[in-house]
Structure 1
Amino acid sequence: MESEILLLDDRTDQATRQMLQKVIDKKRKFDKLKLRHLLVMWTTIFLCFFYFYYLYKVVLTPYSYSFASMFSQFVNQSSNLYVLVIIVGLYGFMNLLREKREKAEKEYHALRCEIIDKSKDLWKKEDEWKNRHKVFEMMKKNFDINLYHESK
């Protein structure tokens, strides 16, 4: 458990601390998947750009007089097949990471909204209710998790 959450001794009970820890874990998972998706997406875009530029310079421009000669030149170089397979694989991996990222975002947002909805139950006592803003501020400052509003 995070040290900041452990320092919330009198402000929260153990169940609330566990919920806060879970929302932190979900946020980290979402951020990690978001970064991976972005990295693979830009790698795919740059690789496609450079590959199409290569095809333009090596295949399209010198053999533009005939489609059959362009096609035969493209097929004669086996590296074209390998690069094409790599690009298609990266595109598929990018879509897989996008789906995982969206799922992680939904899980994170659902848990965050659950904490917001149940805040009256989680901080039942009067003094806990008055000090909950300190917990919310700590979560916002340390982990960039907004527990004040449900909107993203």
Structure 2
Amino acid sequence: MNAINYWKVEPFISEICKVVLNTLIEKKEQKDLYDRQMKWWAFYSALMGCLGLIYLYGFKLNHMEGVRAAMLSLAGDKMIWFIGIYFLLAGVQWKRLKKKCAKADEEYESIRKEIIERGDDLWPRPEMWKNRHQVLEYVKAEYNINLYHK
């Protein structure tokens, strides 16, 4: 993605600033994508867990008379196996995406903090430095990235 080409603030940023801001926007989008996927997999996992419990208590365990008969019946039930395997796979996928989301968030935050700390390098000329607030406001409005403070 090259968001800088469409910015109205182009005269107020240097080439280095363009590259860094593009990288920051890409990391933010990647973090948001992983976050959305992680939430969906958590929802799917919870949904399959609830469906499994409803199936167990609603259809299977009410009709069983003994614990041994119930366990034998459940061990051979294909629906229980399907729900259990899907529940486990959804949980593993959620855990994997949680790690990716944490890593992407860490990268995003490090770039964001670097931009805040190295403002002098990114806006080298005085007229750029004076108008940097327009760039910061635009980034805040368009991408919900706060570059005013850490």
Read off the aligned partner of 2:133 and give its amino acid letter: H
Other-structure match for 2:96? 96
Other-structure match for 2:117? 117
Read off the aligned partner of 2:55 and give its amino acid letter: Y
Gaps of 5+ in 2: none
- Measure how far apart 1:124 and its partner are: 2.4
State how many pairs are aligned. Answer: 148
- Measure how far apart 1:9 and its partner are: 3.3
Gaps of 5+ in 1: none
Other-structure match for 2:82? 82
Taking the aligned partners of 2:76 and 2:33, their CA distance within structure 1 comes to 41
Q: What CA deviation, in whole Å up to 9, does each residue of 1:86-118 have, x standing for no partner?
A: 110111001001111111111111111110010
Answer whether contact 2:48 2:87 (CA < 8 A) is retained.
yes
- Measure how far apart 1:28 and its partner are: 0.5
Taking the aligned partners of 1:11 and 1:108, their CA distance within structure 2 comes to 23
Taking the aligned partners of 1:110 and 1:4, their CA distance within structure 2 comes to 25
When normalised by structure 1's length, the TM-score is 0.91
Other-structure match for 2:6? 4
Taking the aligned partners of 1:43 and 1:9, their CA distance within structure 2 comes to 43
Other-structure match for 1:127? 127
> Which stretch of the first structure deviates more once superposed, 11-20 or 123-132?
123-132
Answer whether contact 2:38 2:97 (CA < 8 A) is retained.
yes
Read off the aligned partner of 2:12 and give its amino acid letter: R
Structure 1 residue matching 2:96: 3-state secondary structure? helix
- Structure 1 residue 21 and structure 2 residue 16: aligned? no
Read off the aligned partner of 2:6 and give its amino acid letter: E
Structure 2 residue matching 1:145: 3-state secondary structure? coil
Other-structure match for 1:57? 58
Structure 2 residue matching 1:61: 3-state secondary structure? coil
Answer whether contact 2:48 2:86 (CA < 8 A) is retained.
no
Query: Identity of aligned pairs, percent?
Result: 24
Taking the aligned partners of 2:29 and 2:73, their CA distance within structure 1 comes to 48
Q: Provide the alpha-carbon RMSD of the alignment.
A: 1.3
When normalised by structure 2's length, the TM-score is 0.93
Q: What CA deviation, in whole Å up to 9, does each residue of 1:47-82 have, x standing for no partner?
A: 11011111011222221x421011011012123212
